Amino acid sequence: MGYVSLSLRLALAGVLLVSAVGKARDRDAFVAAVRRIGRVRGRGSSAAVAALVAAGELTAALTLPWPATAPFGLGLAGALLVAFTVALAVAVRAGTGGPCACFGPSSAPVGARHLVRNAVLLAAVLVAATPVRGTVPAPVESWGVPEVAACLLVALAAAAAVAALDHLAELLGPP
């Protein structure tokens, strides 16, 4: 389970890092999304919430890979994902979503696939945080380069797929 947990934590860290960087690259698009999706009124309030979200994502991303800080990172990632999912669900239900700007500028409107994506990410948080009963995992310090490299490779592929979800859906969806 140690390899699965590390792979999931690295994938979550990658997703959150890409998300935070995307928000920082086009801050105005994300502030507008916070106003529209999160229903936060006022430019100053929206900008403050947007900055807090990006800081939370960056903090979680930087704490997830390391065993000593992983519990904090998983808790923060879970809390962020629950908040994002609630905000997205309310926006989808009300039909007020518009583009998400979850990973930077986007033209894809908020929809069911974003809710499914968040549910999968929340499941990853739960699996990564759940110890397997009756097993004693090998300490991370005893892992070799091949094991860590395999976890990193799986995590990079998963994070890239999640971050590119809207682009993949557009590419593979109906014309």
Is 97 inside any structural domain? yes
Q: Given this model, what pLDDT does residue 106 score?
A: 76
82-135 pLDDT, tens digit each: 999 999 998 888 887 678 888 877 777 888 888 999 999 999 999 999 875 555
Q: Give CA angle at 64 (62, 67), nearest 5°.
A: 115
Is 24 inside any structural domain? yes
Is 135 inside any structural domain? no
Q: Which amino acid is at 153?
A: L
Is 35 inside any structural domain? yes
Q: Given this model, what pLDDT does residue 108 score?
A: 78
**Residue pair 154/7 in contact by the 8 Å Cβ criterion:** yes
Tokens of 154: 């799986």
Task: With H, G, I as helix, E, B as strand and everything else as coil, classify residue 102.
Answer: strand
Average pLDDT of the residues of the chain = 85
4-28 pLDDT, tens digit each: 888 999 999 999 999 999 999 988 8
**Residue pair 106/166 in contact by the 8 Å Cβ criterion:** yes
Q: Given this model, what pLDDT does residue 1 score?
A: 53
Which residue in this structure is represented by tokens 């999706």?
Answer: 37
Is 14 inside any structural domain? yes
Q: What is the mean pLDDT of residues 133-144?
A: 59
Give percent of the chain above pLDDT 70. Answer: 90
Structurally, how many domains does the chain consist of?
A: 1
- State the pTM of this model: 0.86
For residue 104, give Cα distances in angstroms to 17, 107, 128, 164: 12, 10, 26, 11
Q: Given this model, what pLDDT does residue 175 score?
A: 61
Specify which of 4-8, 54-58, 138-142, 156-160 reaches the highest per-range mean pLDDT: 54-58
Structural domain harbouring 119 = 2-130+141-172
